[in-house]
């Protein structure tokens, strides 16, 4: 088992990673009757895409002895109705500017083939912008 998720009331869950004991809460968003005081479940999905891309790029960068520490992603999630779902995820990845074109292409390919991107339904539009500015 990977995690345990407990409904704690008021449209909130507590999520515990069993191996490490780390935890976080989720709230339903304000536009869906929630408190909006934490990530919503759909926020965590959109954020997982950015986290996975940066993690995979980090593995590749470590193997190539490239420093991408401090890189980050800005995540924007768009919702649709009928049924309520994520319709679009926008990621703006901010990365070091001192990498040559070859290494940039390698890292972009690595990010675009992360496990989460393959796990998100193809109907969800993914707009990914790599910015080499840090």
What mean pLDDT is predicted for residues 103-112?
98
**Do 67 and 96 meet the contact criterion of CB atoms below 8 Å apart?**
yes
The reported pLDDT for the residue numbered 63 is: 98
The CATH number of 40-132 is 3.30.300.20
Categorize the per-residue pLDDT at 128 as very low, low, confident or very high, splitting at 50, 70 and 90: very high
Alpha helices in the chain (DSSP H): 41-63, 101-111, 115-119
- The residue whose two tokens read 């976080």 is 24
How far are the Cα atoms of 5, 129, 134 from residue 39, in angstroms, in the given order? 14, 23, 27
Span 16-64, pLDDT tens digits: 999 999 999 999 999 999 999 999 999 999 999 999 999 999 999 999 9
Q: Could you tell me the residue ranges of all domains in the chain?
A: 1-39, 40-132
């Amino acid at each position: 088992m990977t995690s345990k998720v407990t409904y704690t009331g008021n449209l909130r869950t507590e999520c515990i990673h069993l191996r490490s004991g780390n935890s976080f809460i989720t709230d339903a968003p304000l536009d869906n009757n929630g408190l909006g005081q934490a990530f919503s479940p759909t926020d965590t999905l959109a954020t997982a895409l950015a986290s996975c891309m940066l993690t995979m790029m980090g593995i590749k960068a470590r193997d190539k002895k490239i420093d991408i520490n401090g890189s980050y992603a800005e995540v924007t999630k768009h919702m649709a109705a009928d049924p309520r779902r994520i319709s679009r995820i926008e990621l703006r990845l901010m990365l070091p500017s001192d990498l040559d074109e070859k290494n940039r292409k390698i890292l972009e390919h690595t990010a675009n083939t992360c496990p989460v991107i393959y796990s998100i339904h193809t109907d969800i539009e993914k707009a990914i912008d790599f910015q080499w500015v840090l």
